[in-house]
């Protein structure tokens, strides 16, 4: 699946198609709304301006982000263009082997997890612990997994 990695703006509905994929996959898997005010044609803007961090990467062997809302860009200290060119593994410290296995097993079993915590690193090297993140599969209209997304609203600076 090809993703539009152009800057979110009014011309593309603040990445409306991507926002719809992220929001509908979340709703389908968790039976909850990711953000309460993301309805209709304003969903792209609502997701982009949401106070929680929302990121999504593709399903390539070395996944690359294709979405990072404004909160994610600020936390990771990167522009949109920098975020959507970043392999997602570069946003994190290496996961412990046991934690990675637990994460993958639970996502495979349920389609999502809602209790992930881990250390991430900003562009300038600032480390922070994300807490209670939700990670979920992104599914296209045919039900095929086309990537993964994550959202979290809590983090603790570590440096």
Mean pLDDT per 10-residue run, the chain (159 residues)?
A: 86 93 95 78 89 94 94 98 93 68 71 89 93 94 92 93
The residue ranges of every structural domain in the chain are: 10-157
DSSP3 helix / strand / coil % (the chain, rounded to 5): 35, 30, 35
pLDDT for the residue 38: 58
Which 3 state secondary structure label does DSSP give 44? helix
Measured in degrees and rounded to the nearest 5, phi and psi for residue 18 equal: -65, -45
Number of separate helices (H) and strands (E) present in the chain: 5, 6
pLDDT for the residue 97: 46
The one-character DSSP state at 148 is: E
Neighbours of 16 (CB within 10 A): 19
Helix (H) or strand (E) holding 55: strand 53-58
- Homologous superfamily of 10-157: PAS domain (3.30.450.20)
The one-character DSSP state at 87 is: B
**Cα–Cα distance between 50 and 54 in angstroms, integer?**
8
pTM of the model: 0.91
**Cα–Cα distance between 24 and 104 in angstroms, integer?**
21
């Amino acid at each position: 699946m090809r993703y539009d990695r152009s800057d979110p703006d009014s011309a593309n509905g603040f990445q409306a198609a991507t926002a719809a994929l992220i929001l509908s996959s979340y709703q389908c898997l968790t039976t909850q709304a990711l953000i309460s005010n993301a309805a209709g044609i304003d969903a792209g803007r609502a997701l982009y301006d949401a106070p929680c961090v929302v990121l999504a990467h593709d399903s390539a062997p070395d996944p690359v982000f294709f979405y990072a809302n404004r909160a994610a860009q600020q936390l990771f200290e990167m522009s949109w263009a920098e975020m959507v060119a970043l392999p997602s593994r570069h946003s994190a410290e290496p996961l412990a082997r046991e934690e990675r296995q637990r994460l993958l097993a639970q996502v495979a079993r349920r389609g999502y997890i809602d209790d992930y915590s881990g250390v991430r690193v900003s562009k300038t090297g600032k480390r922070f612990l994300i807490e209670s993140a939700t990670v979920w599969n992104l599914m296209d209209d045919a039900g095929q997994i086309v990537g993964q997304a994550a959202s979290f609203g809590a983090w603790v600076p570590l440096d």
